[in-house]
Amino acid sequence: MKTCSAQLGVGLGRGEGLTLGEGGVVGPEGGLAVGLGAALPAPARQPPQTNAVTSSSAPDRRRTRESDTPGSLSRGPTLAAVLVRNPYLEEFESTSPAWRVPPEMRKLSFERYQLRQELVAKYAWAIPSQEAVELLVRHSPLVEMGAGTGYWAWLVRQAGGDVLAFDRYPPPDRRNRWHAGRQPWTEVKPGGARLLAKHPDRTLFLCWPPEDEPMGIDSVRAYRGDTVIFAGEPTSAGEVVRELDRWDLTETLDIPRWEGIHDRLFVLRRPRHG
């Protein structure tokens, strides 16, 4: 995954894994400062941060995140906040300890591990914040592959976004080993990566595609559009992360996280040459 500017040097070298550090921020010169999050203890409840990745050769480095993603203003149905009902976030926040240590020092206890297992099966693998939903709505219309219970799609639809959600085995299908027997939150249609070729006009959304199955990489290869939003860990062993490393990173957003998990949102644009 690379940024708009090759100068920034935060792209992935082959086989190096995603080097965009946790808590990376846009510096005063429009460059990306990497890894600050690891050095500076963050307050326990830091609001999620949207990091636009700007080109250092751009005439106006103070451009807003919207202007960094041409077309998003005209595509998104609204930029106004529509507050969504988000029981996953409520449950996560109400069960989270009052941490005294910075995020990178937090450990998932066995009880919290069990709670996470339950909540990811019931809701989703990434915890959506209001800001995350708004980011998706800005990039609407969307097509989501591997949507699981459809929890993220449900939030996007609540907020007025347009999303088609697909999964090989939409829950409660017992063949879905991540969400077997769970109730979907919205309509998730059966379907696989190949159908993405029919939706070049939509932003592709992938949330925690499996590391040990090719759905993520197959989706990116089948997709003919220009924008992918990836929710997951940049250190994932999945082939899809290595593929997306070749794309231009235009924006990132921190999301609430379980202890020891390093997922966030990445907005990527297809490189012009390559």
Ligand X SMILES: C[S@@+](CC[C@H](N)C(=O)[O-])C[C@H]1O[C@@H](n2cnc3c(N)ncnc32)[C@H](O)[C@@H]1O
Applying CB under 6 A, the residues found at the interface with ligand X are 124-126, 145-148, 167-169, 176, 178-179, 192-193, 207-208, 210, 213, 215
- Give backbone dihedrals phi and psi of 92, rounded to 5 degrees, phi first: -60, -45
* Least Cβ distance, residue 124 to ligand X (angstroms): 3
Which C-beta is closer to ligand X: that of 62 or that of 194?
Answer: 194
- 3-class secondary structure, 152: helix
* Least Cβ distance, residue 127 to ligand X (angstroms): 10
Which C-beta is closer to ligand X: that of 179 or that of 202?
Answer: 179
Which C-beta is closer to ligand X: that of 18 or that of 193?
Answer: 193
* Least Cβ distance, residue 110 to ligand X (angstroms): 21
Which C-beta is closer to ligand X: that of 151 or that of 247?
Answer: 151
* Least Cβ distance, residue 45 to ligand X (angstroms): 23
Residue 9's region, left for phi above 0, alpha for psi from -120 to 50, else beta, is left
Which C-beta is closer to ligand X: that of 189 or that of 224?
Answer: 189
* Least Cβ distance, residue 43 to ligand X (angstroms): 27
Q: What angle do CA 165, 196, 145 make, to 5 degrees?
A: 35
* Least Cβ distance, residue 33 to ligand X (angstroms): 29
Which C-beta is closer to ligand X: that of 44 or that of 222?
Answer: 222
Cα distance between residue 145 and residue 207, in whole Å: 8
Percent helix, strand, coil in the chain (nearest 5)? Answer: 30, 15, 55
- Residue whose entry in the numeric block shows the structure tokens 């690891």: 38
| Structure tokens that stand for 70 in this block | 């041409």
| Structure tokens that stand for 211 in this block | 């590391």
- Do strands 163-167 and 227-232 pair parallel, antiparallel, or not at all (unpaired)? unpaired
Which C-beta is closer to ligand X: that of 149 or that of 227?
Answer: 149
- Give backbone dihedrals phi and psi of 229, rounded to 5 degrees, phi first: -110, 120
Helices (H), 70-225: 72-75, 87-95, 110-122, 130-138, 151-158, 215-222
For residue 111, with 0-12 CB atoms within 10 Å meaning exposed, 13-18 middle and 19 or more buried, which class applies?
A: exposed
* Least Cβ distance, residue 178 to ligand X (angstroms): 4
Q: Rg of the chain's alpha carbons, rounded to an integer?
A: 18
Angle, helices 130-138 vs 151-158, to 10°: value is: 70
